[in-house]
Amino acid sequence: MTLVIGVDGGGTSAKGVILDRNGKEVARGASSGAVVTLQDPDSAVTAVASAVRSAAMAGGVQLPVSVLWAGLAGAGSQMARQVMEDKLSGRGLADVVRVGTDVEAAFYDAFRSGPGVLLIAGTGSIAWGRNEEGQIHRAGGWGEHLGDEGSGFAIGRDALRALLRFEDGRGGPTSLKGPLLDYLGLDESRDLVSWISSATKGQVSALAPLVIREASGGDKVAKGILSFAVAELQIHVDGILKQLSPWDEDPVLALHGGLVGSGGPLRKPVIRSLITLRLKLFEGEVDSPRGAASLALRTAVST
């Protein structure tokens, strides 16, 4: 075993980290992202391969490396993992390919095999926890149709709904119309129906910063959307704590993702919402691609 690489991939980006046999970082790379779907697995395969090659180029590394461990959004089922492993194995990226979820990669970076609670809110959302007895529970993470409450996708979707509700008289006034239509290059609100039918999860999530900007400017509807998102994320964490109770000690909570990670616009509101829960805040930043690379290193040592 010489070198390993880990990739963290979601709807916004895919990031790779190469480690040597001693766990020292060699290089990083990035590409555009893609969520794993059985209908179109090749998009995620392309994103992972691009991130791997980007990291290899940055570090002057010749492929294949020993092990690739890819933590990918949408790879929660065994079928999805198998499809991705089979397709990635034929790309000349690594001798051994393993696929898990982006949540596993982030959790491993923060807690290794120990207890803790992880809340991710970016393009999607999920909470994941492990107690002192090793029991694991998840809350949310059921995708854009059944879950992702409190995520960038949900915020963007709710903003579009709020705009249309205002337009037809069912909702209150909002300043969201101009920014949303200008950003999307649309003339009328009715054009959103056509746009959303072909929009990706990442494209809808990209509307969240506009909502945050209008909320900071005083728009009550935008503020309500963000308050609802924070409440939903609190429910995620509360569900983990209840399902894995009793805890011997107050669990550590790690926040990760564009909305709640370091500098994220919802980080402080989410922390305030959790003030009544018995939690300790994780010190430091969660580095998902590094977690994926550490899992690749563990795989290399055990094989």
Domain boundaries, the chain: 3-100, 114-284
Contact indicator for 289, 105 with CB cutoff of 8 Å: yes
Provide the 3-class DSSP secondary structure of residue 259: coil
Q: In whole angstroms, give the CA distance from residue 94 to residue 26.
A: 16
Query: Which CATH homologous superfamily contains domain 114-284?
Result: ATPase, nucleotide binding domain (3.30.420.40)
Same fold? 3-100, 114-284: yes
Contact indicator for 254, 117 with CB cutoff of 8 Å: yes
Cα distances (Å, whole numbers) of residue 250 to 198, 241, 262: 44, 10, 22
CA proximity to 129, closest of 296, 121, 120, 149: 120
| Residue 154 CB partners (closer than 8 Å, separation 6+) | 125, 148, 229, 232
* Tens-binned pLDDT, residue by residue, of the chain (303 aa): 589 999 998 777 899 999 999 999 999 999 987 777 778 788 888 999 999 999 999 999 999 999 999 998 888 889 989 999 999 998 999 999 999 998 999 999 999 989 999 999 998 899 999 999 999 999 998 877 888 999 999 999 999 999 999 988 888 899 999 999 999 999 999 999 999 999 988 899 999 999 999 999 999 999 999 999 999 999 999 999 999 998 888 999 999 999 999 899 999 999 999 988 889 999 888 999 999 999 999 998 887
Contact indicator for 51, 30 with CB cutoff of 8 Å: yes
Query: Which CATH homologous superfamily contains domain 3-100?
Result: ATPase, nucleotide binding domain (3.30.420.40)
**What pLDDT, on a 0 to 100 scale, did the predictor assign at position 1?**
57
Cα distances (Å, whole numbers) of residue 287 to 71, 110, 183, 234: 12, 8, 31, 22
**What pLDDT, on a 0 to 100 scale, did the predictor assign at position 248?**
87
CA proximity to 41, closest of 73, 8, 2: 73
